[in-house]
Amino acid sequence: MFLSWPVWALLSAGFAALTAIFAKVGVENVNSDFATFVRTIVILLAAGLMVHVTGNWQEPASVSARSWVFLVLSGLATGASWICYFRALKLGDAARVAPIDKLSVVFVAVFAVLFLGERLSLLNWLGVVMIALGAVLIAYRG
């Protein structure tokens, strides 16, 4: 069961939901950039512990230059995303910020097709459109 990607994806979604709730409470009386810094330290420690506990340490020299470039770019994008997310949570309602943040699902679908050569069926595209519309409807204050 824990070797199945849908299980891990659902766990990710559940933890992401908790992230929004915990972060909204956490940034209440804290600067959003400082809150992001604290979150990053916690994640660094947790990831380091996970690598140690699972024995998955890999010699840095064994990682290709291409992988290093894209891992660093991914880290920079993650950092930018977190900074923006915490600022949005500081300013807005978690129930409205999180759905807009989840438009990343729509962006991933488009980027995967454009840059990775992935293919989506008409039904898949319908789902992408529904996610986009759903996010907008949830975020709409009316």
**136 lies in a domain?**
yes
**How many Å apart are CA 67 and CA 69, to the nearest integer?**
5
Clarify whether residues 2 and 67 are in a common domain: yes
Q: pLDDT tens, 105-116?
A: 999 999 999 999
pLDDT > 70 fraction of the chain, expressed in percent and rounded: 99
pLDDT of residue 141: 84
- The upper half-sphere exposure of residue 1, i.e. CA atoms within 13 Å in the direction of its Cβ, equals 2
**How many domains would you assign to the chain?**
2
Same domain, 52 and 107: no
Examine the domain organization and report whether 17 and 37 are in the same domain.
yes
- pLDDT, tens digit, 9 for 90 and up, residues 75-86: 999 999 999 999
- Any domain includes 134: yes
Listed residue (11, 12, 6, 26) closest to 85, CA to CA:
26
- Domain housing 142: 102-142
Query: Can you tell me whether residue 11 is helix, strand or coil?
Result: helix
How far is residue 77's CA from residue 141's CA, in Å, rounded to a whole number? 29
CB 23 within 8 A of CB 39: yes
Domain boundary among the residues 72, 92, 112 is at 92
**pLDDT at residue 1, as a whole number:** 65
Q: Record the tokens describing residue 41, joined without a space.
A: 């330290």
Name residues of the chain where pLDDT drops below 50: none
For residue 3, the one-letter residue type is L
How high is the mean pLDDT of the chain?
A: 94
3-state secondary structure of 27: coil
